[in-house]
Amino acid sequence: MDLFEAIERRHSYRGMFTDGAVPREDLERIVEAGLKAPSGCNAQTSTFVIVDDAELLGKLAEIIDRPVVRGAKALIVCVARHEPVYHGLSFGVEDCAAAVQNMLLAVTALGYGSVWLDGVLRRDRCAERIAELLGVPSDAEVRVVLPVGVPAETVEPPEKKPFAERAGFNRHPG
pLDDT, tens digit (0-9, with 9 covering 90-100), for 9-30: 898 989 999 999 999 999 999 9
Determine the distance from the C-alpha atom of residue 59 to the mean position of all C-alpha atoms in its chain, rounded to a whole number. 19
- pLDDT (0 to 100) of residue 1: 81
Q: Do 39 and 45 form a contact (C-beta atoms < 8 A)?
A: yes
- How far apart CA 147 and CA 15 sit, in angstroms, is 11
Q: How far is CA 55 from CA 39, 58, 61, in A?
A: 33, 5, 10
Domains defined along the chain, listed by start: 3-166 (3.40.109.10)
**What DSSP designation does 132 have?**
H
Q: Convert 27-45 to b/e letters by CB count within 10 Å (16 or more is b).
A: beebbebbeebebbeebeb
Count of Cβ atoms closer than 10 Å to residue 108 Cβ: 21
Instruction: Please return the burial class of 118, using the count of CB atoms within 10 Å of its CB with bins 0-12, 13-18 and 19+.
Output: middle
Tell me the chain's radius of gyration from C-alpha atoms: 17
Count of Cβ atoms closer than 10 Å to residue 144 Cβ: 23
Confidence of residue 8 (pLDDT cuts 50, 70, 90): confident
- Sign, Cα dihedral of 127, 132, 133, 137: positive
- pLDDT (0 to 100) of residue 83: 87
Confidence of residue 155 (pLDDT cuts 50, 70, 90): confident
Average pLDDT on 101-117 reads 97
Checking if the pLDDT of 63 tops 90, the result is yes
- pLDDT (0 to 100) of residue 174: 78
Average pLDDT on 48-77 reads 96
- pLDDT (0 to 100) of residue 43: 86
Average pLDDT on 112-135 reads 96
Average pLDDT on 66-83 reads 94
pTM (predicted TM-score)? 0.93
Checking if the pLDDT of 38 tops 90, the result is yes
